[in-house]
Every structure is written in structure tokens, then in C-alpha cells.
Amino acid sequence: MKPEQPKTIAVTGGASGIGYAFCEHLAQLGHRIVIADLRGADEAAGKLRAAGARAIGVKCDVVSEDDVGNMARIAEKEFEGIDGLVNNAGLFTTLALKPFDQITSAEWMRVMEVNTLGPFNCAKAVLPALRKSGRGRLVNIASTVPIKGPPNMAHYVASKGAVIAFTRSLARELARDRITVNAIAPGFTLSEGVLQADLQNRIGDNARTTGRCIQRDQVPADLVGALAYLVSDGAGFVTGQTLAVDGGGVFL
């Protein structure tokens, strides 16, 4: 079997946390990486280049159509196309945990903006390039929370439910363009943002390991193999799926 040709893959929120782990792993597999992030994109891309990868960073707010359009243009110019998009940027680690009747409508809308409008904007911006690619890959980072329904983060849970629904609808629309659309649903993961916000202690042991077949904390490295598979040519007949990566906490 011939080795796969590398792809150009844009990762939103790729400058830190789970997103950076994704970028590092995809770069190690030989893919060209576009890191799109509100902050730290250039520095993160610099680290990948220092390790021998082809990578660029673009400052980008996924909520802004102008920013994501600019990101797509820069990526296409630099690498002559885009083959994959990973919608990873999301509001989670900085959220205050509170009962739903204490969530303001502004907080609700902000979470929906970043977690659902963001992936929509990015998918639209890269669609012409993915169509041209002929082996386009779109991967949305959801969560297991829409299946488990934890309390005190109703806006976040609803937003990730929307991400899974969006994934299914796009899979049907884009199959004719040979673009697959899938989601990864991570369990609670000790990302940089989680550790900085001390979320692992605020959220309690219940979210961390209870109900998991594999009784240990999840780390970003646990997620990278699932992404590598979904962007691979070998996954070309897999679309519309949500792959839970959480040590066997939920069965979809």
C-alpha cells in the first residue's frame, strides 16, 4: 500500500490545550498545519516548524466571518489548498458553572456564538477549498456531555448537542463533494485550560472517572489517534459519525 499524501489541515483553537495536541500529532504524521486561534497562533506554529513541520499560525476569532475568511485565504495561498478542518475552538474551560436559571441570556448567546456559529463560519469559509481537494475532511470537536447531560453547564451541553446535529446534517450535504464530516466526543480531559481554571477540582470526581471502563484521567494525547484516523484517506467511507473517546464512559 502506498503511504498517504499529506494533507493541509486547519485546526481552530490549535494554539493550546487539546487543539495543540492535535496539531503536534498531525504534524508528526507529515500533514501541513494551519493554526487558527485568538491568541498564540504564531508561537505555536513556530514550535511546530522548529520540530521540522510545515505550519503557519493565523490570528483568528472563529465568530468573525472576516477573520475566518482571511484564515482560509492565507492557508490556501501558503499551501495551495486546504484538505481538512478541525473545529476545535470552544468555550468550556473559562465558563462559570451554575444552575441554568442563573445563566444570563448574554452568557447563553456567547457560548452558542463560539461553539456553534464558529464551526458554521469556519466550515463555510473552507468549503470551496475542501471541494477542490477531492478528499476533504471536516472534524467537529463535540463532547460526551450531550449524552450524559451534566448539570450546571446547560448552555455548553446544548451547544455541543448542536455540534453533533450539525455534523450529521453536513455529512449528508457534503458527501457528493467527497467531503466526510465527523465529530469526536471527548470525555472530561485535563487540557491546559482545564488545569489553569482548576476545573478538575471544581467539577468533581464524578465527571472525571465515574462510569468509565478505563479508570483514569483523560489527557489530550488520548484524543489524537481518533483525529488522525478521521482525517486519513482510509476513513473515506466514514461520515456523519460521532466517535466518543472517553475511556468507555458512554456507548454511542
Ligand X SMILES: NC(=O)c1ccc[n+]([C@@H]2O[C@H](COP(=O)([O-])OP(=O)(O)OC[C@H]3O[C@@H](n4cnc5c(N)ncnc54)[C@H](O)[C@@H]3O)[C@@H](O)[C@H]2O)c1
Task: Just list the catalytic residues.
Answer: 156
Exposure of 118 by Cβ count < 10 A (0-12 exposed, 13-18 middle, 19+ buried)?
buried
To the nearest 10°, the Cα dihedral for 85, 153, 166, 238? 60
C-alpha separations of 1 from 4, 6, 226 in Å: 9, 15, 21
Q: Are strands 55-59 and 84-87 parallel, antiparallel or unpaired?
A: unpaired
Q: Does residue 92 bind ligand X (CB under 6 A)?
A: yes
**One-letter amino acid of 61:** D
Question: With CB under 6 A as the contact rule, which of the stretches 49-57, 59-67, 147-155, 175-183 interacts with ligand X?
Answer: 59-67
Residue number, 81 or 193, with CB nearest to ligand X: 193
Residues 113-172 that bind ligand X (CB under 6 A): 114, 118, 141, 143
Residues 183-222 that bind ligand X (CB under 6 A): 186, 188-189, 191-194
Residue number, 61 or 83, with CB nearest to ligand X: 61
CB of 132 to ligand X, least distance (A): 24
CB of 131 to ligand X, least distance (A): 24
Q: Does residue 39 bind ligand X (CB under 6 A)?
A: yes
Question: With CB under 6 A as the contact rule, which of the stretches 24-32, 57-65, 123-131, 234-242 interacts with ligand X?
Answer: 57-65
To the nearest 10°, the Cα dihedral for 155, 160, 162, 165? -160
Query: How many Cα atoms occupy the beta-carbon half-sphere of 240 within 13 Å?
Result: 9
CB of 128 to ligand X, least distance (A): 21
Neighbours of 200 (CB within 10 A): 17
Binding site for ligand X (CB under 6 A): 12-13, 15-19, 37-39, 60-63, 88-90, 92-93, 114, 118, 141, 143, 186, 188-189, 191-194
